[in-house]
A and B are shown apart, each in its own frame.
Chain A
Amino acid sequence: MTHYSLWSILAGGLTGQKNWTRAWRDPAPKSEYDVIIIGGGGHGLATAHYLASLHGVTNVAVLEKGWLGGGNVGRNTTIVRSNYMLDANAHFYEHGLKLWEGLSDDLNYNVMFSQRAVINLAHSKPQLDGYARRGNAMLLNGIDAELVDREAIRQMAPYFDFSETARFPIYGGLMQRRGGTARHDAVAWGYARSASSRGVDLIQNCEVTGFKIENGCVRGVETNRGPIGAKKIGMAVAGHTSHVAAMAGLNRLPIESHKLQAMVSEGLKPLIDHVFTYGAGHFYISQSDKGGLVFGGDLDGYNSYAQRGNLPVVQDVASVGMALSPALGRLRLARHWAGVMDMSMDGSPIIGKTPINGLYLNAGWCYGGFKATPASGWCFAHTIAQDRPHALNERFTLDRFNTGAVIDERGAGPIPGAH
């Protein structure tokens, strides 16, 4: 595998790009592995990378029914942050943020992690008080947070509506400077390349069609490319968790499938230098390095596996966008799509063991999946390798919905579509 560096780029230019080898191998599945990860998305690939690099577990296969990175890691709004209030979330996502800070180096792949600051806009003092509660908790947890006032936001984003007639005037905001964006596909590819180079078999177009379970222990999976045995199996198929888990007999997971919309404008010269969330509507905005304004919208509001959204949410995003910055009016929307979310009953994920020995579950990511990728893979690898959760994910159990120890950041309750 070619090591990536400025020198390899120069060599590529001088050799007509003959120096580049495959980013990952394309092996045929073996009959047996120590660990199978179902799902070649961000979390599955990250899990494989950390299993191999931190736990020495390299006899691993990642089974992907389509193409690597084809799930939500490839259709999100690329935002990375750890601005959480509740301890369990805060420590987990902050661990993830620290991994992000070294990720390009760890993977020898430029994931373009850009710590350009994430700012949550508040439109009234009570709203800012609510954000302050979170910001104070972040600081006490050792995570960076700052209050910013209206003037500071005007400096950062002069194109926002600071007029007297703004419907929801910008009052202030909570900023996490270390938050930002990353190139989403590169994250999947970087993990894939690293895992593959450490011996992990990445098997695309390999759909799991059933599980082999004996005496409450997993033994392997059935696939469209034949049976594959394994002592341990991790599921990382957010978006289709209910479907895959049902094959293993886990029939009533606390998850609903919803589609979340995102959209992008035509390419523009730099306009928005940070990530902003609007406080009076479900909306966030940033600008990709290529120049497109990236907008996040709301759930369509009904259960679905379709990776496409309907118009009402697009209209809502456009109108919130116009409320935030009337300069967006003449810019054009180039593309809109949807990703299928595992919406959990408390808005927080599930990473841990299942009632079946050797079967591990990584699910329920709601909107938080992309930024969680490194932390999720790190914790899931630990959980699989050690057969017990790490302190960072020990509260993200399935059982918490029985005990009531839910991790409900927004207090939206057991209404998956409301988180």
Chain B
Amino acid sequence: MIQDQPRRHNMIGGAIDRDKPITFKFDGEKYFGFEGDTLASALLANGVSTVGRSFKYHRRRGVFSIGSEEPNALCILREGARAEPNTRMTQVEIYPGLVAKSQNRWPSLDWDLLSVNSLVSPFLAAGFYYKTFMRPKGFWEKYEVLIRKAAGLGTASGEADPDRYEKAHRHVDVLIVGAGPAGLAAAKAAMQTGARVAILDEREAPGGWLRFDRELIDAAPSDVWLDEAVESLRASGNVLLLTRTTAFGYYDHNFVAAVERVQDHSAVPDPSKPRQRLWTFRAKRVILATGSIEQPLAFADNDLPGVMLAGAVRGYLNAYGVTPGRKTVLFTNNDSAYRTALDILMAGGAVEAIVDMRANPSSAMMRAVRDLGVPVYSDSIVTRARGGRALTACDVMPRNGDQMPGGRPVTVECDTLGVSGGWSPAVHLHSQTGAPLTWREADGVFVPTDAPHNCVSIGAATGMHDLSDCLNMGSAAGTQATVGATGRAAVSATPDVFSLREEQAMPIREIPLGPAVGLSGRGKRFVDLQNDVTVEDIKLAHQEGFVSVEHMKRYTTLGMATDQGKTSNLTALTIMARQRGVSPDKVGTTKFRPPYTPVAIGAIAGQERGAHYRPLRRTPMDAWHAARGAVFQNTALWRRPHYYPKTGETIDDASAREVLATRQTVGVCDVTTLGKIDIQGPDAALFLNRVYTNGFAKLPIGKARYGVMVREDGMVFDDGVTSRLGETQYLMTTTTGNAGPVLSKLEFYLQTVWPDLDVQVTSVTEQWACFSIAGPKSRDLLSGFVDLDISDAAFPFMAVAACTFAGVPARLFRISFSGERAYEVAVPSDYGEEAWSLVVAEAERLGGCAYGLEALGTMRIEKGHVAGTELNGQTTPSDLGLDGFLSSKKSFIGKAMLDRPAYQSTNRQKLVGLKPVDGKTPIKAGAQIVEDPYAPRPVPMLGHVTAVAYSPELQSPIALALVAGGLDRLGDTLHAAYPLLGETVLVEVVSPHFLDPEGERMHG
């Protein structure tokens, strides 16, 4: 296998298992790698230099980094429904059969037609699209089609995600983000006290940069310390150590969200496991050991494949045994690149040169490298990278301040150029708390400061470089956090470390530009590699006045790519600062927004998808309805029978049959979904009297009353029947849709406005199965089931009583929505289906039937009872003909607002009935009421149709409507206009009480 991999070292590489070769495909080509490889390391080992194309100019790009900050190496991972665009190859662990595809190129990675953009790039400077595409007028959408196709990155599959996601929650004393040396030291210290600790790391194994660097701890390779630390944490019962887990959001009150990639390292998730898991932590203390991110340097053509971060070169070598190049040049403004040089030399590789921007680098590390014979060009710069398909050489010149030096460059042949512009602390989570950053001039980075009291950053995340310092700081922070969180103290030993001390960087990352910029698109100095933002773009933004950091970002799109500027923001800020002649802390940073790295939407949704999104509510009789072939309709989250069709029946046929059966004999309807709120307490009567517009204080025990609630602004909120079950107990019913909002409102008033009232409210909607029995034969039906005298004398209209129903404890109410003699029975939910089936059987024996929502709606429209479409939040009680329910003897919520002039206007839209003038044309719900639908626009609108039905008894379509002037228009002929379908119906305004206006049937 090794022989197939031109760039694989045959000894080094602790992260891979050479006994486990893996085959995978990239862009259709077959390659080998080893277990433990990332897609990036495996492709590098195979000598693949171009792995992607850039966003705007479609330039060739290679692997640039070794972590989640990767701007270049994005692919579409997997195929079909599992295809995942924009996946960072640096984070993909390879598995047998892996298939990946490059993206944003056509027709192929090697031959990409849109690379023509690179040739015309002089015309495509930052923000060019704001200045053109305006002619011919209104033509933008035509340009846009082409622009959209050229833009974007990966392609979504468009297929439903087949995988499963789940969520987990933990309360912990100490949450540590990052399991590098500092984080592990903190975890070890915290663990020893028995504190509940969670430690997360985004990589596949703990260790952070210990896995990529060669260090000695306690005189042994750092792996020994690392293994011991991890083992002790894993053995501890009170530590949760999660790898492949990225903490992406730091929210209010120490609430941290993280995503664990549970099964992304296999082709298909193990059926017993989710693909990913969303963790949320509520932590007493948070320790941010998030490390730091190496920054690039901006010189001409710094995007050629082969130009990489110097730390990444080292990491690929040490962890994966990958030697990205045979001839390496390092270009740096700090000491860390010398580590790379030493490691390459120790592995037997060649370092052609080190180009150091600093005038007099003098560290031991530098001397060690020089003593090994590597030419060190100090006070020098790489002015450009050379090469066509990949890097072949670079130009080195002495540094001349900010100016391009004169003279001829030394051209050094190389196939890898490791660059290091210093290490920028990963302050993202710190900043998400709203805490500030401080500019550190010495090495040109922002460091975290003034964290909230329950949060601290440690290690490289504070800008610290030295390993022993990081371990010390980690131990101390672990102890301190534990004391803070639990009050228990811990003592932790800190190991001795052999580490080469690094000298600081110089705070400059922009390299002067030579004269060689032509129309070829060559010579660009890239700052944001993914979005193709160059030094010149940032300067253009400055030239045009986009000097605020947010303006610069938005105008150039810098930092708006999938990496959110992890390797570009800092350089851009310093360039803008120099342009403006101010310190970078005056320029400031853009806001750090969650997530730290992009998170799969499926993981954030978790289990709440498909049927589990707003789970369906079913009544206890649901199975019966389904068995009887009911057609269902959704009402709020419930499903309710819409109608029960017999063979061959349409909805109109079925509904008419159900209405007639009810009006002529008896019908039963499942009304379980109505909200039921149990209200108890000595002040319950007083409370209800304030909540309802009509009086409830004197409602006798054993009686029900219809009540109207208005909002604070006087608009009708809800209506329903409330019964007094005892001296201090009431049962309120609400509309189905408002069950939750009404309960919330009652709670709101009891908790915040009238805390002095001694009242408890609780929802009992799901405790009772309810059905109404309506029609002239309803009493006959009922009498066979209840142990109660239900004669009109003993149980008149609006009576309420406890009883048994078919031997089951029940509540009986004599109330009616249909306008017929009617009763409502409530039995405990567990008895619902049986009681219901008994009742329906008896109803059918009497010539009746079960009826659904359509028949229910028809009957309420025939009676002119208001429901959801009239209780639309825009109607006053008076608009709905409910003036009679407005008590003048007491106050109630919203009363004061009812007197406002606009509510008294005679032109308000009020409830009326409508009939088609021709007696047969159906009226449509949603039609607008106008005098002349053919008048020029805008046509004055008088109101609209709220509810429609066909009345089998009247043998006519009927409707309810809200119309300006209301019943003053009785007898007027108007249009119910439905211009969406080009229709209008001539209608007559009639009373909304189409049937039995005196209510004789109901009272019996």
Contacts and interface: CB of A to CB of B under 8 A. Distances in A.
Nearest to A273: B148
Contact of B606 (A22, A66, A315): A315
A185 B159 CA distance: 33
Contact of A161 (B147, B160, B937, B941): B160
B249 interface: yes
Interface in A389-418: 400, 402-406, 408, 410-415
A414 B252 contact: no
Contact of B926 (A6, A133, A329): A133
B608 interface: yes
A9 interface: yes
Interface in A112-145: 112-116, 123-124, 126, 128-133, 135-137, 139-142, 145
Contact of A412 (B84, B122, B555, B873): B873
Contacts of B608: 315, 319, 322
A345 B555 CA distance: 36
Interface in A166-199: 166-168, 183, 185-186, 189-190
B682 interface: no
A42 B873 CA distance: 32
B557 interface: yes
A16 to B, nearest CB: 8
Interface stretch (A101-109, A227-235, A365-373): A101-109
Given A132-B980, A267-B151, A413-B715, A332 B129 contact: no
Interface residues of B, number: 118
Interface stretch (A53-61, A245-253, A306-314): A306-314
Contact of B132 (A6, A70, A137, A165): A6
B550 interface: yes
A140 B251 contact: no
B762 to A, nearest CB: 23
Given A105-B137, A329-B600, A114 B610 contact: no
Contacts of B432: 308
B153 interface: yes
A156 interface: no
B812 to A, nearest CB: 31
A349 to B, nearest CB: 18
Contact of B980 (A126, A136, A280, A337): A136
B605 A321 contact: yes
B977 interface: yes
A124 B873 contact: no
A113 B134 CA distance: 10
Interface residues of A, number: 123
Interface string B556-578: 01001110100000000000000
Interface string B97-121: 0000000000000000000000010
Contacts of B633: 124, 126
Contact of A268 (B134, B154, B161, B546): B154
B130 A333 contact: no
Interface in B897-911: 897, 900-903
A26 B543 CA distance: 12
Given A139-B980, A323-B609, A311 B122 contact: no
Interface in B934-978: 937-939, 941, 944-945, 977-978
B251 A147 contact: no
B535 to A, nearest CB: 12
Most A CB atoms within 10 A — which of B140, B255, B434, B616? B140
Nearest to B141: A114
Most B CB atoms within 10 A — which of A5, A74, A110, A114? A110
A268 B158 contact: no
B554 A74 contact: yes
A270 B125 contact: no
B544 A311 contact: no
Nearest to A109: B130
B902 A145 contact: no
B614 interface: yes
A415 B544 CA distance: 44
Nearest to A66: B548
A322 B605 contact: yes
Given A14-B122, A308-B432, A329-B161, A314 B252 contact: no
B601 interface: yes
Given A204-B548, A289-B151, A327-B161, A114 B144 contact: yes
A290 B544 contact: no
B453 interface: no
B271 interface: no
A210 interface: no
Given A268-B85, A320-B613, A323-B609, A333 B595 contact: yes
Contact of B593 (A136, A331, A332, A336): A336
A308 B252 CA distance: 10
B594 interface: yes
Nearest to B868: A126
Contacts of A68: 548, 551
Nearest to B608: A319
Interface of B: 55, 82-86, 120, 122-123, 125, 128-135, 137-138, 140-141, 144, 147-149, 151-161, 163, 165, 249, 251-252, 255, 257, 280, 432, 434, 517, 536, 540, 543-546, 548, 550-551, 554-555, 557, 560-562, 564, 591, 593-595, 598-602, 604-606, 608-611, 613-614, 616, 633-634, 711-715, 717, 869, 872-874, 897, 900-903, 924-928, 930, 933, 937-939, 941, 944-945, 977-981
Given A110-B129, A266-B562, A310-B251, 15 more contacts: A12-B122, A12-B128, A110-B132, A112-B140, A139-B979, A269-B153, A306-B434, A315-B605, A322-B605, A327-B161, A330-B84, A334-B595, A337-B593, A405-B902, A408-B873
Nearest 7 A/B pairs, CB to CB: A411-B873, A329-B161, A329-B602, A291-B152, A132-B926, A404-B900, A142-B937
